[in-house]
Amino acid sequence: MGPRLLYSLIIGAAILASLVLRVWDPTPVARLRSLVFDSYQRLAPLKFDPELPVRIVDIDEESLQRIGQWPWPRTILSDLLVKLRDAGAATVGFDMVFPEPDRMSPANAVKFWPQSDQLTQLKTELDALPSNDEIFAETIGTAPVVMGFIASPMNQHALPEAKAGMSFGGDDPRLFAPHYPSATSSLKELQTPAVGAGALNWVPEYDQIIRRMPILVTLDETLYPSFSADLLRVAQGASTYVVKSSGASGEKAFGEQTGIVKVRVGDFEVPTDANGQMWLHFSPQTRDRYLPAWKILDGEIGEDEIAAAFF
């Protein structure tokens, strides 16, 4: 056997072994790949682009000092939403869940007051006032709001309202997206007027480090978008997601159900892994991402800044 042939056999065997390892993907190899991915994140983090039109309303320490302890009455959240709406925000998302009535609504708060004849008439008048949830729901109906929900492994029979259509090419994406039997959602009166709803979940890896986020989740038998994906959809005025999976036109799966390939959200096409998760490229922490809630409520942040920040 000549040296050239031997060299070719060694190279061929190395390539074949690499292919077998990639298909088999044993746990040590998968974990090593994750460590390499983490190293790239540290060596080449994503640069923060101040022109990127996304900001986070920050419930910071000063906001808590000025407005009061959390949770705030939902009338304050309504006021905050009015400020953002009137400033031209293309979409506003609440990455929190409101599963119970606001305990600070007049009719609820009055239950904790002492019983006395002097307060009887006042309590009757307070009972007639609209609840904080009614006020908040009315404001939600006037703004491009996306409500978050938390997909749950517990069978609670509380599916959120689906707000967007789902179409797909190839294999049914419900076979691959993270599956949950139910979810913890906000009150129906808050969900109904919102134009969007998305899952706040992340799928933990072996070391609890977040490297990927699902674009899609399946609740019972229904496909839902993630919270971030629905923010993007609503901001563009889109109504439907288009999911491409194995077997779709142009996707080579060789007859195998290999999973989700990409998800189209309006004008954006997001590549995903087989389970419909997007790999994340983190950028360093910066205060430029945040708008303190108290400054928005006090009018210290101009409309131009808010309109630019929220798409």
98-110 residue pLDDT tens: 999 999 998 887 7
Q: Could you give the 3-state DSSP secondary structure of residue 140?
A: helix
Same-domain status, 292 and 151: yes
| One-character DSSP codes across 169-237 | ESS-GGGTS-EESEEE---HHHHTT-SEEEE------TT----EEESEEEETTEEEEBHHHHHHHHHHT
Same-domain status, 66 and 179: yes
In this structure, the number of other CB atoms found within 10 A of the CB of residue 91 comes to 22
Q: Looking at residue 310, what is its pLDDT?
A: 58
Residue 107 lies in a domain: no
Residue 116 lies in a domain: no
- Structural domain harbouring 29: 1-44
Same-domain status, 4 and 71: no
Region label for 231, one of left (φ > 0), alpha (ψ between -120 and 50) or beta (otherwise): alpha
Residue 126 lies in a domain: no
Q: Looking at residue 34, what is its pLDDT?
A: 75
Same-domain status, 147 and 275: yes
pLDDT along the chain (311 residues), means of 10: 60 58 59 79 89 91 96 96 94 95 87 74 77 97 96 80 93 94 94 97 87 94 96 95 84 68 95 94 90 94 72 48
Same-domain status, 22 and 54: no
Judge whether 159 and 195 are in contact, CB under 8 Å.
no
Same-domain status, 156 and 284: yes
Distance CA 251, CA 267 (A): 20
Query: Into how many domains does the chain fold?
Result: 2
Phi, psi of 285 (to 5 degrees): -65, 135
> How is the chain split among helix, strand and coil, in percent rounded to 5?
40, 20, 40
Residue 68 lies in a domain: yes
Residue 79 lies in a domain: yes
Cα–Cα separations (whole angstroms), residue 102 to 38, 185, 187, 198:
41, 14, 10, 22
Same-domain status, 176 and 283: yes
Residue 148 lies in a domain: yes
Same-domain status, 213 and 278: yes
**Tokens in use for 91?**
């979409």
Q: Where does residue 304 rank: exposed (0-12), middle (13-18), buried (19+ CB within 10 A)? A: exposed
Same-domain status, 26 and 68: no
Same-domain status, 74 and 175: yes
Same-domain status, 21 and 90: no
Residue 298 lies in a domain: yes
Distance CA 64, CA 71 (A): 10
Q: Could you give the 3-state DSSP secondary structure of residue 295?
A: helix
Q: Could you give the 3-state DSSP secondary structure of residue 145?
A: strand
Q: Looking at residue 39, what is its pLDDT?
A: 86
Same-domain status, 237 and 185: yes
Q: Dump pLDDT digits (tens) for 11-51.
A: 665 565 555 555 545 567 677 777 788 888 899 999 988 88
Q: Looking at residue 110, what is its pLDDT?
A: 77
Distance CA 179, CA 27 (A): 22
pTM of the shown model = 0.84
Q: Looking at residue 225, what is its pLDDT?
A: 97
